[in-house]
Amino acid sequence: MEPKTTFWKKIGLQDLFLPGSKTKKAKAAAPGLTPDSIYQYILQQFKTSIAELSFAGRVVFYHEYMICFNAEDYKEFLSQKQGLFGIIVDEVVKQFYQVLKTYEKEGKKVQPSSSKWVFRLVSHPDYERGDIGFIGKLLPGSQQKEDNLRVTFIPRQTGVVQTFDVNEDILKGFTYYSEGYYELPYAPEEESAEHSPVKAVKKTYAKLDTIMPDQKYSGKKFEYLMKDEDIIVSGAEEERTESNIFRIPSEWVDTPHLRIRFNSADGKLYLASFGEKTIINEQQVLRSNINAPVWTELPINSKVLLNGIIGINIFKG
């Protein structure tokens, strides 16, 4: 059996970033992550992005910051310092605005390329204890796969910053956490005002849409953003109005018809069907009892057909 290809082998930096058999013996104990080290690290990436992206008197900088850790480091930090990541993000954004003010005073043009800041805290199985990495984006949420991303990594052996470009497809190897997503509006005028520390916003796990065939709605599209980890898709007879209910006002949808949940352990969606007939990507799903759901994986970009009439498209949130 061939050995597993690591993230670093894929990008040609295995020998530089990870220890081989010759260097493992000399590896020192990795220092633990501290709130100040993470704060200083993010701030430095912001300043570096300004230095690398700015031109012609205009100050340009990253708006999305993906900070990468070893999985054990992430879990240990989160369990011992619950909620502290949000405070770090809040303070670091305040400092971002202070840095930008200094450029404005120098007569340079500070104009954001996005209306928000996004911070994602992730882990990767090839990161070892003490490793910390960074991936930046100019436009949060952009899906331009032809563009490369700038990655900064500090290996625990040397502590020397290394920077390189990778294709966005490489991000599939990272583990994302719902509690590790923070989003703030770009609002420098509010920076000096007293306000509460940022809280993690609700992540959108998926987007569902359907076009109604019923004559009453004559082809109207209904869209729903899945912001709860567990939702119900129900028909015209549904009377509940909670945020986790996607009501489709059609007689062709049973009440309830589907239950969809996000599994944080593997980052996937799963579906249970209570309706008369449900098909996912041309494969019929076993009908189950509402009190004993039978779960089937629901891939992103799937087409779900209810009772042979109502089609629901499942997109990435």
Percent residues over pLDDT 90 in the chain: 40
State residue 227 phi and psi, 5-degree precision.
-105, -10
Measured CA to CA, the distance from residue 267 to residue 176 in angstroms comes to 7
Distance, CA of 275 to CA of 296 (rounded, Å)? 14
Average pLDDT over the chain, rounded to an integer: 77
For the chain, where are the alpha helices, taking DSSP H only? Answer: 7-10, 14-17, 35-53, 71-80, 84-105
306 DSSP β-pair partners: 278, 310
d(CA 170, CA 218): 43
Name the pairing type of β-strands 230-234 and 206-211. unpaired
Read off the pLDDT of each residue in 64-86 and give the average, rounded to a whole number: 78
Give the pLDDT of residue 283.
92
| Per-residue pLDDT at 32 | 64
What is the rounded (10 degree) CA torsion for 142, 143, 144, 147?
80
The answer to whether the peptide bond before residue 256 is cis (omega within 30 degrees of 0) is yes
Q: What was the pLDDT predicted at 198?
A: 53
- Range with top average pLDDT, 14-18, 33-37, 85-89, 268-272: 268-272
CA distance 24 to 22: 6
d(CA 99, CA 53) in angstroms, rounded, equals 15
Amino acid identity, residue 60? V
Tokens of 185: 């509006």
C-alpha span between 109 and 151 (Å, rounded): 26
- Which segment, 49-53, 84-88, 122-126, is predicted with the most confidence on average? 49-53
End-to-end C-alpha distance for the chain, whole angstroms: 37
Tell me the pairing of strands 162-167 and 175-185: unpaired
Q: Token digits for 29?
A: 């104990």
- Across 87-101, 202-216, 297-311, least confident range: 202-216
pLDDT > 90? residue 162: no
Query: Does the pLDDT at position 10 exceed 90?
Result: no
Answer for the pair 132, 116: CB distance below 8 angstroms, yes or no. Answer: no
Q: Is the pLDDT of residue 11 over 50?
A: no
- pLDDT on residue 202: 66
Please report which confidence band the pLDDT of residue 254 belongs to, taking 50, 70 and 90 as the band edges.
very high
Q: Indicate if the pLDDT at residue 14 is higher than 50.
A: no
Query: CATH classification of 206-316, choosing from 3.10.150.10, 2.60.200.20, 3.40.960.10, 3.40.50.1000?
Result: 2.60.200.20
At 265 the pLDDT is 83
pLDDT at 179 over 60: no
The sheet carrying 245-247 orders its strands as 245-247, 230-234, 258-263, 268-273, 296-297
Residue identified by tokens 């992540």 is 203
What Å distances lie between residue 165 and 37, 125, 225, CA to CA? 24, 20, 32
pLDDT of residue 26 exceeding 80, the answer is no
The half-sphere exposure of 205 on its side-chain side, counting CA atoms within 13 A, is 22
Predicted pLDDT at 144 = 42
Q: Specify the higher pLDDT residue, 132 or 101.
A: 101
**Single-letter residue type at 22:** K
Distance CA 153, CA 172 (A): 17
pLDDT digits (tens, 9 = 90+) for 47-65: 999 999 999 999 999 998 9
CA dihedral angle for residue 121, residue 127, residue 132, residue 134, rounded to 10 degrees: -60
Residue 306 pLDDT greater than 90, yes or no: yes
Interval 279-303 mean pLDDT: 93
More confident residue, 145 or 68: 68
What is the residue type of 132? I
Instruction: Tell me the average pLDDT across 130-144.
Output: 71
- Asked if pLDDT for residue 168 goes beyond 90, the answer is no
pLDDT, residue 178, reads 52
- 74 by DSSP, 3-state: which? helix
Distances (CA, A) of 61 to 99, 117, 163: 11, 11, 16
Tell me the domain boundaries of the chain.
Answer: 7-190, 206-316
| pTM for the full predicted model | 0.48
Q: pLDDT tens, 199-225?
A: 555 688 999 999 888 778 877 889 999
Residue 183 corresponds to which tokens in the numbers above?
Answer: 């989003």
pLDDT of 140 higher than 60? yes
